[in-house]
Structure 1
Amino acid sequence: MGIEVHFTNGLRKIKPYYHSRTCFAKGRWLNRTLLDVLSNEFRTLSRDDYLNRIIQKDFQLIREGEPLSVEQTLNALIQNKDLVKTTDHKHEPPVRQWSADELTTATQIAGMDIIHEDENFLVINKPCGIPVHPTGQYFQNTITEILSGAGKTAFPTHRLDKITSGVLILAKNCYTANKIQAKIRSRDMRKVYLARVRGMFPHASSDIQYFSSDELFQQSDKVTKVDSPIFTVEPKKRFRAGLSPAREATTNFYPIRYIAASDETVVACQPLTGRTHQIRIHLARLGHAISNDPFYNYQNTLYPKRLQFMLDVENWETSGLSENQLSERFHEFVIECEELQKRRTQSEFSEKCMYCGTPSIPDPTPETLELYLHAWKYSDIEGKLSFESALPKWASEHDTK
């Protein structure tokens, strides 16, 4: 049975489905029972939960091509060349609907605009609100799997966050993918993003006029350059592993148009380095966070303590904070996450799936799956490659919302 897709309230949803995968037993698993391995190395579930799932055949041992019985799987010691088969009832989160019919034509694939296509490249205008490739709970609801369903096998050559839209360069072969990735690593690719931010950005004007990507950053006195290190905070990890090393990052910003009615500015962003969430963090540190940023805009964030730390402390390694002070701050971030998760569990996850017991999570709204950050243009310094998308509605001169 194929995947069942349906559309509700501006969301693309996938009916829960069963998915099986196998992997070879690792060396450290040998001469142990599967229940022992699962309950001690994968602590997502309790030992009793894993026991029940083995009884339900969600976990099986495959030996010499044949699945062992439930009793054998529970009692047998894992041997070399054994396979572990896992069957999950997958509940993929919905993504933002980008098309009414997902048709493939000469100019679109699965309802997504094609910017360029030849024997080596497929370049699309990625919709916001959908991951590029399988990750976490997402598999079928991803760009690469949707393209595969439309008959296109292509490999992403660069990152683009789930809620970010714009130019996505996919390669049709490994040689081309490696070539583009090498250009990005050596900073031979010029990237221009568009963002819509809070407040009147430095040197911004409310004059509405046509603008092209080639004309931006030409007036050096209008450029705002930000040099500040970027690091990540991951409360799910332990201190210090949850604080990544701070890495130097540089972004140039150029104001395009100030929108007085909403006190916002459309800004062009040119990242000269490629750190995680670099543009979003640099804009927030300037006091001009992206208007609808769910994390780095203080008016929207659910993690105010973590955000304040990332805005105040550019480099935690040279901040002057002692080991104890850093540990205490990190513990605050952990508590902040746990309390939010607890509130969500108590208020939202009331119903459970009758087949697997997965909590029923309320759908997001389409608005929460959109970020006013758009990858507008990618080009190489040699002038051989240049890909530019259409303007997003929130940045165009005729439609500022």
Structure 2
Amino acid sequence: MSADVYYANGLRNIIPYLSKRSSYAKGRWVGLPLLTVLTKEFRKQGPDEYLKGIKSGRYKIRRGDRFLEVQDVLELPIEHKDIIGMTTHNHEPPVKQWCTSIEEENSIVEGKIGGIDIVYEDDELLVVNKPSGIPVHPTGQYYLNTLTEILKKHGKLVSPCYRLDKTTSGLLIMAKNQIIASKLQEKIRVHDMTKLYLARVEGQFPKILEVPTDLILTQEMILERIMTPALKSSVDSDIFTLELKKQFPAGLSPSREAKTDFYPVKYIPDLDQSIVLCKPLTGRTHQIRIHLARLGFPIVNDHFYNLRHSKYPKRSRFLLELASWEKSGLPPSTLKEKFDQLEEELREYQNSSSMQRNDEVCEICGSDLSSPIKLNELELYLHAWRYSDNENNFNFVTEIPKWIE
């Protein structure tokens, strides 16, 4: 699969393209008509467009050795072992442009591949400095506009050993074979890997005045902070994830223990902001972002956990204020009521966004052609800076990000 790329307004765009894929029906789809699943699960188009797609044969159900007739697809509920076939006209969201088109077209040139900095490479590993604003691997609406697919264009078939959020930049270790991937993932799982991140947060971080503020930071100066236990602040609070696509209580994941240590690096008085060194001791989703916000120092440009910027403030508060929904003492009825409020908040935001869109739609699939992506929402002041294991077999570090000053 390939598609044409163009750059505009600081964004890397993929020209829409057709693709076919099929998959077994997920358990939560069983018992529901395909139209209901498409409308609720994907939310890329409205019910009318999905209905047209079913009638035109772009969405099918294979049951046993045959495809169901269109009328049966519309009327019969999905069953276990059904195969859902989709021919979609993909409108991938844009990602943040990290280099020029000429630089991206080049393979390895002066320590870069596709315009992305190479930190280290051998026969088993490729370590890069991931730009902010691009997903690591295909997920959701993203496929070609992902780091692994871009590297594949340059002949690098690699698998990430851990995930970084789309908006997070920094050190990404990728394996060229499954053996080394499993070895690194096991080290991370048993906490035999020290991970250090840099963040820029709002406010005067605890103990920040005990470190110099008027010096240009170096790698060595930042690393010294972690050698001073008296500077450490720790957050130890559970974290759970939320999936509004699922019903209550399945949409609430089990709460899991999470702990992060923080060290002050530098205070910026004019902006009342701080640079913080972050050492996660567990590996939960959005752990650093959540713990900084719970501590009262959210990342400056976090468009979810910084409540001044959040599009979904009720959802953000729910995840920040409720460390463990199982231990909260709230009865199931109250949790269900809160879950319903979060669903309503999402619907209200989607309706508000659709009212602000233009009337231009795609002639092929009916998708709205207005772009909801804003460039400033594709960068987060959180950077994976250094990874090392206890035996020092793996020890990688990136450059300090520009926003640190």
TM-score (norm. length: structure 2):
0.87
Quick one: structure 1 residues 186 and 58, their matched pair in 2 at CA, closer, same or farther if it must change by over 3 Å?
A: same
Q: CA deviation at 1:265?
A: 0.4
Gaps (5+ residues) in structure 1?
A: 30-35
For the residues of structure 2 that align with 1:40 and 1:290, how far apart are their CA atoms?
38
Matches within 5 A, 1:102-117: 102=104, 103-106=106-109, 107-117=111-121
Matches within 5 A, 1:35-114: 38-39=34-35, 42-44=38-40, 52-59=52-59, 85-101=85-101, 102=104, 103-106=106-109, 107-114=111-118
Q: CA deviation at 1:65?
A: 11
2:363 aligns with 354
Identity of aligned residues (%): 48
Q: CA deviation at 1:60?
A: 5.7
For the residues of structure 2 that align with 1:369 and 1:26, how far apart are their CA atoms?
30
**Is this contact kept in 2: 1:155–1:170, CA < 8 A?**
yes
For the residues of structure 1 that align with 2:326 and 2:197, how far apart are their CA atoms?
30
User: Could you say what the CA RMSD is over the residues aligned between the two structures, in angstroms?
Assistant: 3.4
1:192 aligns with 196
Q: Does 1:207 align with 2:214?
A: yes
Q: Does 1:120 align with 2:116?
A: no
> Cα deviations across residues 211-247 of structure 1 (Å, max 9, x unaligned)?
4254231111111011111112333322222222221
Q: CA deviation at 1:362?
A: 2.1
For the residues of structure 2 that align with 1:82 and 1:199, how far apart are their CA atoms?
53
Q: Does 1:371 align with 2:380?
A: yes
> Cα deviations across residues 26-73 of structure 1 (Å, max 9, x unaligned)?
99x9xxxxxx96346545588875563245342468899999998999
Task: Give the secondary structure class of the aligned counterpart of 2:20.
Answer: strand
For the residues of structure 2 that align with 1:306 and 1:25, how far apart are their CA atoms?
29
**Is this contact kept in 1: 2:33–2:73, CA < 8 A?**
no
Quick one: structure 1 residues 131 and 307, their matched pair in 2 at CA, closer, same or farther if it must change by over 3 Å?
A: same
Matches within 5 A, 1:123-138: 123-138=127-142
Q: Does 1:318 align with 2:327?
A: yes
1:255 aligns with 264
2:242 aligns with 233
Q: Give the aligned residue type for 2:215.
A: I
Q: Give the aligned residue type for 2:130.
A: K
Q: Does 1:303 align with 2:312?
A: yes
1:33 aligns with none
1:269 aligns with 278
Task: Give the secondary structure class of the aligned counterpart of 1:327.
Answer: helix
Task: Give the secondary structure class of the aligned counterpart of 2:224.
Answer: coil
Quick one: structure 1 residues 324 and 51, their matched pair in 2 at CA, closer, same or farther if it must change by over 3 Å?
A: closer
What is the aligned length?
392
For the residues of structure 1 that align with 2:347 and 2:69, how far apart are their CA atoms?
39
> Cα deviations across residues 266-288 of structure 1 (Å, max 9, x unaligned)?
10000000011110011001110
For the residues of structure 2 that align with 1:216 and 1:10, how far apart are their CA atoms?
35
Task: Give the secondary structure class of the aligned counterpart of 1:105.
Answer: coil
Q: CA deviation at 1:165?
A: 0.3
Gaps (5+ residues) in structure 2?
A: none
User: Which is greater in Rg?
Assistant: 1
For the residues of structure 2 that align with 1:238 and 1:56, how far apart are their CA atoms?
30
1:288 aligns with 297
**Is this contact kept in 2: 1:39–1:46, CA < 8 A?**
no
TM-score (norm. length: structure 1):
0.87
For the residues of structure 1 that align with 2:310 and 2:55, how far apart are their CA atoms?
42
**Is this contact kept in 1: 2:133–2:379, CA < 8 A?**
yes
Task: Give the secondary structure class of the aligned counterpart of 2:255.
Answer: coil
Q: CA deviation at 1:323?
A: 2.3
